[in-house]
Amino acid sequence: MSIPYTREQVIERLQQRLQNNRSIFMIGCGCGMSAVSGEKGGADLIAIYSTAILRMRGLPSMIFTLPYYDANAITLEEGARIAPLIRETPVILGLGAHDPSVNLDHLLDVVAENRCCGIMNEPFASIYGEAFARRLERAGLGFSRELLLIRKARDRGLFTLGWAATPDEASAMAQAGADAIGAIILDDGPEFRGLTGSEALEVAVEKVRRICKAAHAVNPDTVVLTHGNPFYDVDTARASIEGTGAAGYASGSSGERLPAENAISDITRRFREIKISEQKGTET
């Protein structure tokens, strides 16, 4: 059964990694096989959250933005199944703060019951786009409620990762006490229009650099992990870390869905290439 690490123990594990000049890798997992395999590969953190769970059910990641699923219920249900499979790696849950019918304190009670050691704010309002995120905020259910979730989790001694799409959000997350910040790069903004390949990657890397600068201005010890569509494989993830101030990478589809899709499709094609010998009728 997974070890219920304290916040201090998780931070110590991550800092030891950095002191050895090694980047941190957090794998996002939507099923037990992904989590077990990630631990075998040496992942530093395992994150269980609604987007990962839905995509490992064969659904598009963005389906969670529609009113058909309870993101927290999905996460807590799957987290209870996955966490006991993990032996040594810290496990954190992605919890959504926006449901007005949910008491955040009660939500956090379940984290320890699932033998998980921390949380992150997922889903996060930024994924819905600026216009909708502003409407959520005006209703008191946007980014400010995500900050409240992080503060409450920090007060309980849980390890916290706060997602931030802008330098201002990164600064606010650091002020709220987030131990780590996920620099989420959304590549559908105006700065990416018309850009492809290396140009788009360069813009994304610069956004990471600004997020790191804002977070470290508040707390130099804040661990920043990069994430987003522009960073879809090892090389682009490396580019998002080198020279930006980031300490590591948090995978989404790149660490789970895509490897599984490619491997299963490939082995299926190879099995179908097996030929049978010519069948001859038997005489009676």
Token pair in block for residue 282: 């038997």
The per-residue pLDDT for range 171-198, each reduced to its tens digit, is 999 999 999 999 999 876 666 666 677 8
In angstroms, the CA 82 to CA 80 distance is 6
Q: Is pLDDT above 80 for 142? A: yes
Q: Long-range contacts made by residues 96-100, C-beta under 8 angstroms, separation at least 24?
A: 96/50, 96/71, 96/72, 96/121, 96/122, 96/123, 97/121, 97/141, 97/145, 97/146, 97/148, 97/149, 98/123, 98/125, 98/136, 98/141, 98/142, 98/145, 98/146, 99/70, 99/72, 100/141
DSSP state of 138: H
DSSP state of 65: G
pLDDT reported for residue 199: 81
The radius of gyration computed from the CA coordinates of the chain, to the nearest angstrom, equals: 20
CA distances from 74 to 12, 35, 97, 227 (A): 30, 16, 14, 22
In angstroms, the CA 225 to CA 240 distance is 9
Q: Is pLDDT above 50 for 96? A: yes
pLDDT band, residue 40 (cuts 50/70/90): very high
pLDDT band, residue 1 (cuts 50/70/90): very low
pLDDT reported for residue 238: 96
pLDDT reported for residue 237: 96
pTM, rounded to two decimals? 0.91
Are the beta carbons of 171 and 20 closer than 8 angstroms? Answer: no
The per-residue pLDDT for range 210-234, each reduced to its tens digit, is 999 999 999 999 999 999 989 999 9
pLDDT reported for residue 283: 56
In angstroms, the CA 49 to CA 252 distance is 10
